Amino acid sequence: MKMFALIFCVVGCFLCTDQFSARAADGHPNVLVIITDEHNFRTLGCYRDTLSTEQAEMWGPGSVVETPNFDRLAKEGVLCTRAYATAPVCSPCRAAMITGMYPQNTGVPTNNAKLRGDVPTLAKIMAKNGYQTSFVGKWHLGGDGKPEWAPTIDGGFENKTFMFNRGHWKKFAQTNTGAKVAASNKAGSPSYDVANADEKSFATDFLTDRAIEAMAQAGDQPFLTVVSYPDPHGPNTVRAPYDRMYGHLRFLPPRTYGLDDVTSPKWLGNEKKHAVFRGALMSQYFGMVKCIDDNLGRIFTALEKSGQLDSTIIMMTSDHGDLCYEHDRLNKGNPYEGSARVPMLIRFPGRIAAGKIYTQPIGTVDVTPTLLGLTRVKTDDEFEGRDLAEQLLQRGAGQGGQVTFLRNSGTNPLWVCAVDERFKLVLSVNDRPWLFDAEQDPDELLNFYRRPGSGEATRRLAKALQQYGNQRRDAYLRHPAIAASLKKCLLPENIDR
């Protein structure tokens, strides 16, 4: 009898683990996309492990957040070291992410714009292929509505009860008709107040509960679930005990803060905008990140209990970064690493090698075509982003020579940018070209344009920008100043000899 029980247990375990391979062979693994907002990549332990100590501990020795669940994603999947927001502001980047199209072609080149109804979306395509599609959390592609639950412009997501258009709310509650913001000001309007929020009402926890419910409701149907957290975007407040968890750390300004003797790029503005350094804000920021990490752990547990963890592709990324006082600034909107570089982790057991490091550039515009490639979902839609599935599935760091492109948010050109595995070329309307070298100057304090040995990188990225502008109808490349800079970068004198 004991032998029979042992055989039954072994067979049962085999069938459970083999569920993934059977579903993957049919091209129908589940997909869970986790999006954070304004998230500095250095706050994740798995990214710090790829950096020098001084780069990893940007806000002083020991100023780190413990993120075991994000680290698990990286350990069991792939970590992309050169992932970038296609436009480092909320709406345009989210539009690129969900459509595989560049912001200028989605109807959302700037915040609070409306996503075009005729562009392909990840949700529309996957719904046609039998997926139950759900979106939980911040959407920010439906116009001005705030919060606007279940917005009219929804990108084709079928389950959108807990989708809200925009806002960085801290406290939610369930009602008979859906959800509401559970904090208000004296006038009775929804507010960002965090008072008395707990593990059920705080935004991160509440949205995690709803995402777990959405995945469970799919039953035997494969699911696409997106959970989009409004944190760690400001206001920098978080519920207890996370609000005091990092109060003991001695936060210091980043090395690039307050350097008045360093020439700044003019695309930052005519004057330096000094953000007064406040360690207390960093303490709260770290607390928000820790809360998200703990909730990722809850998602792992729920998927493990349902037997779906290894039949689910999990992708985590963010819509942009937060400079967190680097270069005297908070927030985003420029091509500096802290602003434009985002975390991107993908777990796909049995297909993507555990612990893989992908060092080639990837943009958020590549998310939709790559997820479709990983799931083997077929579509006749054409994308401007790249399907990088085959590169991610291969062992090794990825095929060299890749480039991704960034542009400023808005309808008026300020800058465009091309990034490869080492260099970043920025062309702007009010400055000479800027070339950053991640190996020689990871702090991005120096301009390597026209320096000895930089010519080949300059020409290569300029050629890539020229091709991008023509193919993707980016009018920014036709601005006289940007066009003139591009021409200079393409001159034969930039060939290293």
- Nearest-angstrom CA–CA distance, 398 and 361: 10
Mean pLDDT, rounded, for 150-156: 98
Element (H, E) at 128: helix 122-128
pLDDT tens for 404-463 read 999 999 999 999 999 999 999 999 999 999 999 999 999 999 999 999 999 999 999 999
Mean pLDDT of the chain: 93
Instruction: Compute φ and ψ for 464, nearest 5 degrees.
Output: -65, -40
pLDDT band at 64 (very low <50, low <70, confident <90, very high): very high
The token pair at 214 is: 């959405």
DSSP state of 341: B
Position 9 pLDDT exceeds 60:
no
Spatial CA neighbour of 290 closest among 217, 354, 240: 240
DSSP state of 142: B
Position 274 pLDDT exceeds 90:
no
* pLDDT at position 2: 41
The token pair at 454 is: 């930089």
- Nearest-angstrom CA–CA distance, 164 and 173: 13
Mean pLDDT, rounded, for 225-234: 98
Instruction: Compute φ and ψ for 460, nearest 5 degrees.
Output: -60, -45
The token pair at 321 is: 């970064």
pLDDT band at 293 (very low <50, low <70, confident <90, very high): very high
CATH of domain 29-402: 3.40.720.10
Instruction: Look up tokens 């542009």; give the residue.
Output: 407
- Coil, helix or strand at residue 227: strand
Contact 232, 37 (CB under 8 A): yes
Element (H, E) at 228: strand 223-228
* pLDDT at position 270: 56
- Coil, helix or strand at residue 465: helix
Contact 92, 363 (CB under 8 A): no
- Nearest-angstrom CA–CA distance, 236 and 88: 19
The token pair at 458 is: 């300059």
The token pair at 51 is: 């950096």
399 C-beta neighbours (distance < 10 Å), count: 11
pLDDT band at 6 (very low <50, low <70, confident <90, very high): very low
Instruction: Look up tokens 């395509």; give the residue.
Output: 125
Contact 341, 321 (CB under 8 A): yes
CATH of domain 412-494: 3.30.1120
DSSP per-residue string spanning 148-188: -BS-S--TT-SB-TTEESS----BEEEETTEEEE--B-TTS
pLDDT tens for 365-406 read 999 999 999 999 999 999 999 999 999 998 776 688 999 999
Instruction: Look up tokens 């345009």; give the residue.
Output: 92
Position 19 pLDDT exceeds 50:
no
- Count of all residues that appear for the chain in the document: 497
pLDDT tens for 399-416 read 889 999 999 999 999 999
pLDDT tens for 66-103 read 999 999 999 999 999 999 999 999 999 999 999 999 99
Q: Which residues fall within 8 angstroms of residue 361, CB to CB, at 6 or more apart? A: 82, 83, 84, 402, 403, 404, 419, 420, 421
Q: Using CB atoms within 10 Å of the CB of residue 472, give its burial: 0 to 12 exposed, 13 to 18 middle, 19+ buried.
A: middle
Distance of CA 224 to the CA centre of its chain: 17
Position 1 pLDDT exceeds 70:
no
Spatial CA neighbour of 207 closest among 272, 295, 81: 295
The structure's pTM equals 0.93
Mean pLDDT, rounded, for 98-123: 98
For the chain, domain boundaries = 29-402, 412-494
Spatial CA neighbour of 304 closest among 198, 216, 183: 216
pLDDT band at 177 (very low <50, low <70, confident <90, very high): confident
110 C-beta neighbours (distance < 10 Å), count: 16
- Geometric angle at alpha carbon 345, from 342 and 351, rounded to 5°: 150
269 C-beta neighbours (distance < 10 Å), count: 13
* pLDDT at position 399: 80
DSSP per-residue string spanning 213-225: HHHHHTTTS-EEE
Q: Which residues fall within 8 angstroms of residue 420, CB to CB, at 6 or more apart? A: 82, 360, 361, 401, 402, 403, 457, 460, 461, 464
pLDDT band at 494 (very low <50, low <70, confident <90, very high): low
- Coil, helix or strand at residue 425: strand
